[in-house]
Chain A
Amino acid sequence: MSTPQHMEIGKISLPFSEAFRIALEDIRRRFVRMVITAASVILAVGFMDALLVLAAVGTIVGGQAASLKPFQLWILFISLLVCVVGIMNSMLIAVAERTREIGTWKCLGALDRHVLLLFLIEAMLIGFAGGIVGWVIGLITAFVYGLQPTIGISEILQALLTPGSIAVPGFSALPSIIAMLVLSMLIAISLSLIGTLYPAYRAAKLNPAEALRYEV
C-alpha cells in the first residue's frame, strides 16, 4: 500500500508560563519532599555563607584582604558536591514516582523537551528558595559565632556592610551582605540544576509505553 502523506502536521507547544504554573503546583503538592530536597541546598549554601562572613571579618580586623584557607575551600567543595548528590538522589526518586505520569504527559502530546523543562523549572525554584533560606541560615550562624568574646557582633556587621570585604567578582561594589545573597542564589540554582540534569534527562527520554506500564 502506498502511503501519501495526507496528514498536515501542526505545532506542539508548551508555553513557559503554563510550564511554570504546573511546576509550582507540583512543588506545592509535594511540599515535604521538596523541602527535604531543598535542605541539602540550604545546608551547603549556609555553610558557604558562614565561612565567607568569617573571612570578611578577617579582612576587616586584619586590615588586608583575607580569603578562605585551602582546607576551608576543600571542605566547602565537598559540601557542595554532597549537596548535588543529594539533589540528584531525590530527583531520581521523584522521576521514578512520576514515571506513569510522565507517560501520560507524552500521550497528551508532550515532547521530550517539555518534560525536561518541567523538571528544570522545579529545580530552579528549589534552588531559588534554597539559596535565600541558606543565606539567612549562613548569616545566623555567623552571628552566633560572633557571640564569642574574640570577635564582636559589631565587627560582623561592619564586615557585612562594607563593599568588597568578600570578594565576589562583579559585585564588589555592593555591600558584602548583598553580594553574598547574589552569590548564594547563583550557587544554589546551579547546584540544583546540575543535580537535576541527569534525572530530568532520564524522565524526558522515557518510552511512553514502558512508562505507562511502570508500577510504583
Chain B
Amino acid sequence: MRYEYTVETEDLAKYYTMGPAIVKALDGIDLRVRRGEYLSVMGPSGSGKTTLFNMIGGLDRPTRGKVYIDEVDIAKLDAYELAWLRCRKIGYIFQTFNLIPVLTAIENVMLPMIFAGVPREQRIKKATELLERVGLGDRLYHKPGELSGGQQQRVAIARALANDPAIILADEPTANLDMKTGLEIIGVMRELNQEKGVTVITATHDLKMIDVSDRIVYLRDGKVERIETRREIAIETEEI
C-alpha cells in the first residue's frame, strides 16, 4: 500500500529539564513529508534539528504531539515494534558515520538484514550490490578504520538502504566531510532518492544541500520558521 505522506508530525514537542530551566528543543512542529520527497531541515545548532531527527526516527519519545510513519502513530508501538520500524522502515545516516568498528564494510551493510531475517546468500548479494552502487565495490572487506570519511559515509548510506526503507534520516551527513566529499555524498543521496523513490529527510546546515532539496524547512528555537519549496528558491536566486 502507498500513502501520500510518509512522515507526519502533529504539534510535536520535546522539552528537556536542565536543573531549574526547561529547554524547549522542539515546540509544536507540524510537518508533512510526501513520499519520495527530499526534505532538508536547516537551522543553527541548538534549533532542534537532531531532536526532530530522533523523534521521527523513533529513537526518543516526544513530550507532546504525534509522529506518524506511514500513517501509524509510533507512540502506540511497543519496544519490539519500534525496533522493527527502525530496522525495516527507516535508514539512519549520522554525522559521525557510526559504522560498527569491528565489522567489515559488507558486514556492516548486512547487519540490518540479519535483524530482518534475510537469508545469508541474499544478504551477501544485496550488500555487494549496494556497496557497488555507492562506488565501494573494491572495498567490501575493509574495516571502517581502513576507510576514509567519505567512504565510511558511503558504507553508511548503503547500510541505511539495506532493508529498502521508506525513509532515510540523515543527521548532518556532510558535517564531518570536506567540501568535495560532502558534495559527492549529497549527490549519492539525491540519486538514490530519485532511483528508489525513498523519502530523504536530512538535518543539516550545509548550504550545498539546498540545491538538491525539494523542500527546505527552517527551524529556529524549536519552531518552524519558514518552509521553502524548490520553485521559490529558484525564483529567489533569479531575483538576485
Contact = CB atoms under 8 A, between A and B. Distances in A.
B59 A108 contact: no
Given A18-B114, A100-B98, A108 B87 contact: yes
Contacts of B114: 13-15, 18
Contact of A111 (B72, B83, B98, B99): B83
Interface string A19-43: 0001001101100000000000000
Contacts, number: 111
Contacts of B86: 106-109
Contact of B80 (A3, A7, A12, A212): A12
A33 B46 CA distance: 37
Contact of B71 (A4, A103, A106): A4
B111 A108 contact: yes
A12 B72 contact: no
Given A14-B114, A15-B114, A112-B79, A208 B59 contact: yes
A111 B68 contact: no
Interface in B1-18: 1, 3, 8, 10
Interface in B93-126: 94, 96, 98-103, 111-112, 114-117
Interface in A157-216: 207-210, 212-213
B109 to A, nearest CB: 10
Given A25-B102, A104-B98, A13 B115 contact: yes
B49 to A, nearest CB: 13
B103 A7 contact: no
B88 interface: yes
Contacts of B87: 12, 108-109
Contacts of B102: 22, 25-26, 28-29
Contacts of B70: 6-7
A9 interface: yes
B218 interface: no
Interface in B154-211: 159
Nearest to A98: B101
A69 interface: no
A6 B70 CA distance: 8
Interface in B52-83: 54, 57, 59-60, 68-73, 76-77, 79-81, 83
B8 to A, nearest CB: 8
Given A10-B116, A13-B117, A101-B100, A3 B71 contact: yes
A100 B115 contact: no
B111 to A, nearest CB: 5
Question: Which 6 A-B pairs have CB atoms at the shortest separation, nearest pair first?
Answer: A109-B87, A109-B115, A209-B60, A209-B59, A209-B54, A104-B98
